[in-house]
Amino acid sequence: MLLNKFFMRLLLSFCFCLISHLTFSQNWQIIWEDNFDGSQLDLSKWTHDIGSGSQFGLWGWGNGELQFYQSQNTELENGIATITVKEEPSGLVDSWNNSFYYSSSKITTKGKFDFRYGKVEARIKSIDGQGFWPAFWMLPTNGQWPCDGEIDIMEQWGNNYLTNSTTGAAHIGTCPYSQASHFYQNFSSYISSGSYADEFHTYSIVWKPDTIKWYVDEVEKFVLTPSSYFSIPNQHEWPFNSNEWYIMINLAITQDGPNLNTVFPNQIEIDYVRVFQDISTSSLNYEIKDFDFFPNPTKEKLYINKNLIQSVHIHDLSGKLLLKKIINDDYINVDFLNSGIYIVTIKGKDGNKKNKKLIIK
């Protein structure tokens, strides 16, 4: 089975390279990925959200969801991560002393990996059944909801029949939350036959300044720009050009819950999650309009906007200066650095400074 999966990945990689060349015409480089090849979830890449959200002042994670998240509902085998939803007849009790009679899992890169812009993709086999709500989505690190945004790459709602529709969306609004000032744009894409739970499908976005595009199985389904929202710029700002963002995948149960036809236990399966960024020279000034660098993590080069940045200093975690460079080019060689974590200080031509963590692979 592992051998079959290896050849399948080779075929998928070939197809992805061909399609991305024809469709996107960009030079994508993987900056982060998990192929779930181990026997346990890689905790250097992921962490678990636990419980019902009560510890954050949320009832059912803010949506009245009926599941209690726990880490043991995520398992890895033969290169596949499985999130299983189960009945819990005895109940699982949260910090508000409420009992939950279903368990599931939510994995997130929060505190482990975040980024801005690129192609974000997962290959997932979904789930059939009333009440099930799988999602692959992103939020901004240290952001507030909904004023700092939310990007839903894939959401599906199970029903009495087949899960033949997949959706994606982007949320904006004001903080604190007000229903009157919360807006989102979304799409639905229907499979021609069967269900999204019958086999694996790829769900992705291509995210650039002022643009987000959604893809299902490498076919473009939806595009958003600031002009897609009538409330921009008079009432809201486009929040998707700001902050660093982290990834989440979870299997929830909606407030309406399952019915007698819903099968337990049940699961979604995840083959891989990947983040790419475009390193083509022609795209550098477009991709790096702000005070930043990419890719991160990296092995050899950091790309920057030489029109905005005057100098870059790199220190190790003890504070030792390892590189001091006046910027004349649109990249910096960092192949002399050993694998590990470093602190980069960027000084702009306007005199402002920014410190950011750099990971060398």
Query: Active-site positions?
Result: 150, 155
Confirm if 315 and 342 have CB atoms less than 8 A apart.
Answer: yes
CA proximity to 293, closest of 339, 252, 240, 329: 329
Which class for 328: exposed (0-12), middle (13-18), buried (19 or more C-beta within 10 A)? exposed
What number of other Cβ atoms are within 10 A of residue 249's Cβ? 24
Q: Give CA angle at 81 (252, 89), nearest 5°.
A: 45
In this structure, what is the dihedral angle of CA atoms 231, 232, 233, 238, given to the nearest 10 degrees? 140
Cβ contact 169:159 at 8 Å: no
Q: CA–CA separation, 246 vs 45, rounded Å? A: 11
CA distance 216 to 227: 23
Instruction: Give the Cα-Cα-Cα angle 301, 304, 305 (nearest 5 degrees).
Output: 155
Sign of the dihedral defined by the CA atoms of residues 157, 158, 159, 162, in that order: positive
The whole-angstrom distance between residue 304's C-alpha and the CA centroid of its chain comes to: 23
Q: Please tell me what DSSP assigns to residue 338.
A: P
Query: Residue ranges of the alpha helices (H) in the chain?
Result: 2-23, 284-287
CA contacts within 13 A on the Cβ side of 223 = 8
Number of CB atoms found within 10 A of residue 17's CB: 11
